[in-house]
Amino acid sequence: MVSLPEAGFLAQASDRLKLMLEEEAIEARLGTGDVLFQHGDTGDALYVILQGMMEVSILSQNGRKLSMDLMGPGSVFGEIALFDPGERTATITATQPCRVLKVQNADVMRQVRRNPELAVDLTRLAGQRMRWINMQLHEQVFLTVPTRLARKLLHLAQLQSEDNCSVSLSQSELAEYVGATREAVSKTISVWKKQGIIEASRGGLEILDSDTMEELADPEQI
């Protein structure tokens, strides 16, 4: 029997949902750079990350990639297709070797009909996803590039490092996460580096002054 991580969404999931995953899911492995599914593919399954990190991205109308988030162990995704069958709304790519569980939509819905309490978990997951999407839209519309960058750095550092201070992404990759040009991100990083807030290198950056970064990430400070 597969061992489910006590992290992410699964940390608060019901025992019934965990049992359903253990009974119905099949495991798949992906290497760094492998695409699990692409924006526009038919949505036919629910997924859980057991190990590794996966990137959520979309393409703008002009073809520019926008990285929305990184997901780690315990993350559950693909639930939108349960409520509204159709095309995938984003591309999911492994940023490091990953193990994931896959449960076909038909199997999930069969389990829901047998155990209606599972719908509570799935509705809560969908609600969290909607709040996250609204937050991303709000940030893109109302927040400045420096504020968006500060918020994203703090979020990514929590996912990528034990000390919550290191981010292993290039400035071009950070620009994809912030939804800005590389030049705008590089200019902001250069200013912060001079102020001693961060240390930057080709392989990523390190947050040296977390308190100041928290202040920069606060929209009320604008």
- pLDDT value for 56: 95
Nearest 5 degrees, angle CA 64-CA 66-CA 67? 145
- pLDDT value for 1: 64
Sheet holding 98-104, edge to edge: 26-30, 98-104, 45-51, 76-77
Distances from the Cα of 199 to the Cα of 71, 132, 177, 184, 206, angstroms? 25, 29, 19, 17, 5
**What are 97's two structure tokens?**
């070797």
- pLDDT value for 222: 45
Distances from the Cα of 43 to the Cα of 83, 94, 141, angstroms? 11, 18, 28
- pLDDT value for 221: 52
Q: What's the pTM value of the predicted model, to 2 decimals?
A: 0.85
The span from the CA of 190 to the CA of 39, in Å, is 34
Tell me the mean pLDDT per 10 residues along the chain, length 222: 84 90 93 95 93 92 85 91 84 96 92 90 88 84 92 91 88 91 95 95 90 89 48
Among all chains, which residue has been given the structure tokens 């997924």?
Answer: 47
